[in-house]
Amino acid sequence: MPAPAPTSEVDLFDDQVLADPYPAYAALRAAGPAVRLERHGVWAVPGYAEVRTVLQDPHTYPSGGGVALTELVNAEVLAGTVLAADGDAHRRLRRVLSAQLAPRTIRRLARAVGARADRLVAEHTQGGDFDAAALARQMVAETVLSLMGLPETSWPTITGGAAATFDVFGPANARYGRALPTARAMVDFLLTTVTRAQVTEGSWMHAIFRAVDAGQLQEAEAVPLASAYTAASMDTTILGLTETLYQLARHATQWDRLRRTPSLAEAAFHEALRLEAPVQGFGRMVARTTALGDVRIEAGEQVWLLYGSTGRDRRTWGPRADRYDIARTGAHQHLAFGAGPHLCAGIPLALLQAGAVLRALAARCPQLATAGKPTRTVNNVLRGWTRVPLRAELSWYLPPTATAPGKKAPR
């Protein structure tokens, strides 16, 4: 007789579990390759190897109808988006985004993004104390809004809507209920704002309309595709960059290492994503009866992939999986960006922004330290900080590029 399937009563979306999910993740990894979550009616997949297997097998585990935990969100919010599309439909939508987000296209932004990072780091750190989350938010807001081609006045609707969109990927709990109207408002806003007359020439949104005009997309597909930019590109990068700054401020030896070798900036960002994935989990449908390890999963069920747990899996990362180490070999192979056909399309842009901020800060600040208790973001799917007070000790010599506009570098 096969062993009974492992089950768990844990509520992964309870406030206390969200505050520190790692003991629950460790218990799930110990319980089996897939564990039935009785409260959510879904299979948790907590291990690195198994999550990777699922992500790379979209025929068995399609995204359509399975990315969010509720049928309503899969049908109303996600239908028609690149995230929830499969096969040819997915390839067609992704092609439009790829042209804008490809490494070659993003490299052309390097000078402008670097100058923005220098300016913002100088402005935020000039008094010594600063909020890492505020710095990250302003960096990403300025970069992404101008690329999207939307007016600055759209910022509150878009940021509020993006966080709410991630909340509604979770189960129908109170947080989901509060977020649903905000997530819907963002889609309504996009429907009225993302028009040919409103968007800037040459922007991401403009490229979507060009694809419609060229017959690559239907008119009705334009706004769902635009929502991939607005929901996916902001909070993820803001939370990832804020976490990196927090980890570096908590670990003086890692900060010294980055200062001595600024080319480690991207590795420092990857390592923070491995340790604290901004997107903790997403789902997939099960299209045909299958098995993960010795656990049988029936067609029609759903799996919940715990990206946040995979980064702590000792079978992959060894006994020091819980440590932050910017020199860790292979840290970039974490699953915080997903894997397989839905691998994050925005990796080059996220790395460019994070690398620019970390290098600008490393050039200015010999020492970085925490300066108070941070405030956690509480969201069904996102993990990170809303506020992180830090203290930067400024260098007696500030490189000219890292000087605030209108100020002279001290001699």
Contact 267, 248 (CB under 8 A): no
Q: Which is nearer to ligand HEM, 227 or 254 (CB)?
A: 227
Residue from 18, 82, 122, 163 in contact with ligand HEM (CB under 6 A): 82
Q: Which is nearer to ligand HEM, 228 or 360 (CB)?
A: 228
In the chain the first and final C-alpha atoms are separated, in Å, by 78
- Both tokens assigned to 329: 């070999």
- Both tokens assigned to 131: 């909020």
Contact 283, 341 (CB under 8 A): no
Task: Show contacts with ligand HEM in window 99-118 (CB under 6 A).
Answer: 101
Residue from 21, 32, 278, 355 in contact with ligand HEM (CB under 6 A): 278
Least separation in angstroms between residue 404's CB and ligand HEM is: 26
Q: Which stretch binds ligand HEM (CB under 6 A): 46-54, 93-101, 118-126, 130-138?
A: 93-101
Strands (E), 286-410: 290-292, 295-297, 302-305, 367-370, 375-378, 383-387, 389-393
Q: Which is nearer to ligand HEM, 122 or 232 (CB)?
A: 232
Least separation in angstroms between residue 354's CB and ligand HEM is: 7
Q: Which element (helix H / strand E) includes 45? A: strand 42-45
At residue 281, the 3 state secondary structure works out as: coil
Q: Which is nearer to ligand HEM, 350 or 368 (CB)?
A: 350
Q: Which element (helix H / strand E) includes 7? A: strand 7-8
Q: Which is nearer to ligand HEM, 269 or 317 (CB)?
A: 269
DSSP string, 231-258: HHHSHHHHHHHHHHHHHHHH-HHHHHHH
Q: Is residue 227 at the binding interface for ligand HEM, with CB under 6 A as the rule?
A: no
Q: At what angle do helices 222-233 and 235-250 cross, to 10 degrees?
A: 10
Q: Which is nearer to ligand HEM, 171 or 384 (CB)?
A: 384
Tell me, residue by residue from 230 to 269, as one string, x for binding to ligand HEM by CB under 6 A and - for no binding: --xx--xx--x-----------------------------
At residue 123, the 3 state secondary structure works out as: helix
Q: Is residue 379 at the binding interface for ligand HEM, with CB under 6 A as the rule?
A: no
Q: Which is nearer to ligand HEM, 193 or 233 (CB)?
A: 233
Q: Is residue 168 at the binding interface for ligand HEM, with CB under 6 A as the rule?
A: no
Least separation in angstroms between residue 299's CB and ligand HEM is: 20
Q: Which is nearer to ligand HEM, 146 or 395 (CB)?
A: 146
Q: Is residue 154 at the binding interface for ligand HEM, with CB under 6 A as the rule?
A: no
- Both tokens assigned to 81: 């988006």
Phi and psi, residue 153, nearest 5°: -65, -15
- Both tokens assigned to 14: 């309870």
Burial status of residue 395 (CB atoms within 10 A of its CB: 0-12, 13-18, 19 or more): middle
Q: Is residue 78 at the binding interface for ligand HEM, with CB under 6 A as the rule?
A: no
Distance CA 319, CA 161 (A): 39
At residue 283, the 3 state secondary structure works out as: strand
Tell me, residue by residue from 297 to 326, as one string, x for binding to ligand HEM by CB under 6 A and - for no binding: ----------x-------------------
- Both tokens assigned to 226: 């635009």
Q: Is residue 228 at the binding interface for ligand HEM, with CB under 6 A as the rule?
A: yes
Burial status of residue 332 (CB atoms within 10 A of its CB: 0-12, 13-18, 19 or more): middle
Least separation in angstroms between residue 335's CB and ligand HEM is: 7
Q: Is residue 48 at the binding interface for ligand HEM, with CB under 6 A as the rule?
A: no
Q: Which is nearer to ligand HEM, 171 or 398 (CB)?
A: 171
Can you give the binding site for ligand HEM, defined by CB under 6 A?
A: 63, 67, 82-83, 94, 97, 101, 228-229, 232-233, 236-237, 240, 273, 278-279, 282, 307, 336-338, 342, 344-346, 349-350
